[in-house]
């Protein structure tokens, strides 16, 4: 009986850890603000759409507050503040001027999930983990010129010297900073040059036979 109980506990802990890692238990991710847009896989973002006439630079931006849906493991108001700070810092560091009004583009979106691994799972796995799911659009007036969807997960070993609250804040900032980096890299870095087939060198022309002396 004791053996059966122990095996049952191990089984359910395995299921919990599996779900905690986002495998199989993550619901289908529907994002209404991206409905109807032809997203394609990105080099940095999970998926994105870019209008042919979108010119990210030189241009000014207005950042609207992102809405937050599911937040676990950290205070929601703190997460909202950290997210705005990290995104503003990324925009400024990349030379994109910000305006409160009358900007060229408006950046808005939604964080559908921010999840920090709970203390029990942290203890069992020996690792901290944060998962962020975010989607948004960049618009010029009523026209959407850029859209994106990203899912970021960061994991690192637990540091026993850090209080749990400090560790949570570090993880939140880290996962948000990673998203901001993904977004700016996808927006600003030029697409890779298309691969071209190597052109074979032309064969030397036959010069013919030239007789000496004439």
pLDDT range class, residue 161, cuts 50, 70, 90: low
Domain boundaries, the chain: 29-188
Q: Could you tell me how far CA 47 lies from the centroid of its own chain?
A: 9
Q: Which phi and psi angles does 50 have, rounded to 5°?
A: -135, 125
| pLDDT given at position 162 | 57
Q: 58 preceded by cis ω (within 30°)?
A: yes
> What mean pLDDT comes out for the span 160-174?
75
Count of CB atoms situated within 10 Å of the CB of 88: 15
The 8-class DSSP code of residue 98 comes to B
Q: pLDDT tens digit string along 95-144?
A: 999 998 899 999 999 999 999 875 555 555 567 789 999 999 999 999 99
Question: What is the distance between the alpha carbons of residues 37 and 56, in angstroms, rounded to a whole number?
Answer: 19
> What mean pLDDT comes out for the span 189-194?
74
Nearest to 184 by CA among 118, 90, 112, 117: 90
Q: 93-120 as b/e, with b when 16 or more CB fall inside 10 Å?
A: ebebeeeeeebbbebebbbbbbbbbeee
CB 44 within 8 A of CB 184: no
In DSSP terms, 62 is beta-bridged to 106
Nearest to 50 by CA among 141, 139, 130: 139
What CA dihedral angle connects 80, 86, 92 and 94, to 10 degrees? -140
> What mean pLDDT comes out for the span 183-208?
68
Q: Give every CB contact of residue 195 below 8 A, 6+ residues apart in sequence.
A: none
| pLDDT given at position 9 | 42
> What mean pLDDT comes out for the span 166-183?
91
User: What's 29-188's CATH class?
Assistant: alpha beta
Please check the confidence at residue 94 and state whether its pLDDT lies above 90: yes
């Amino acid at each position: 009986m004791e053996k059966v109980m122990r095996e049952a506990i191990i089984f359910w802990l395995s299921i919990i850890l599996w779900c905690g890692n986002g495998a199989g238990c993550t619901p289908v991710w529907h994002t209404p603000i991206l409905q109807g847009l032809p997203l394609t896989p990105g080099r940095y973002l999970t998926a994105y759409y870019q209008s042919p006439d979108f010119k990210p630079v030189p241009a000014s931006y207005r950042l609207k507050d992102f809405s937050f849906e599911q937040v676990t493991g950290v205070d929601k108001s703190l997460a909202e503040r950290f997210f705005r700070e990290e995104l503003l810092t990324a925009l400024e560091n990349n030379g994109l001027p910000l305006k409160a009004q009358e900007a060229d583009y408006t950046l808005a979106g939604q964080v559908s999930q921010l999840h920090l691994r709970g203390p029990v799972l942290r203890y069992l796995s020996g690792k901290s983990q944060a998962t962020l799911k975010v989607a948004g659009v960049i618009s010029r007036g009523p026209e959407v010129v850029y859209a994106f969807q990203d899912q970021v997960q960061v994991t690192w070993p637990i540091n026993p010297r850090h209080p749990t609250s400090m560790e949570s804040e570090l993880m939140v900032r880290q996962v948000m900073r990673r998203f901001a980096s993904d977004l700016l890299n996808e927006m600003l870095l030029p697409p890779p040059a298309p691969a071209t087939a190597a052109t074979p060198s032309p064969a030397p022309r036959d010069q013919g036979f030239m007789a000496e002396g004439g």
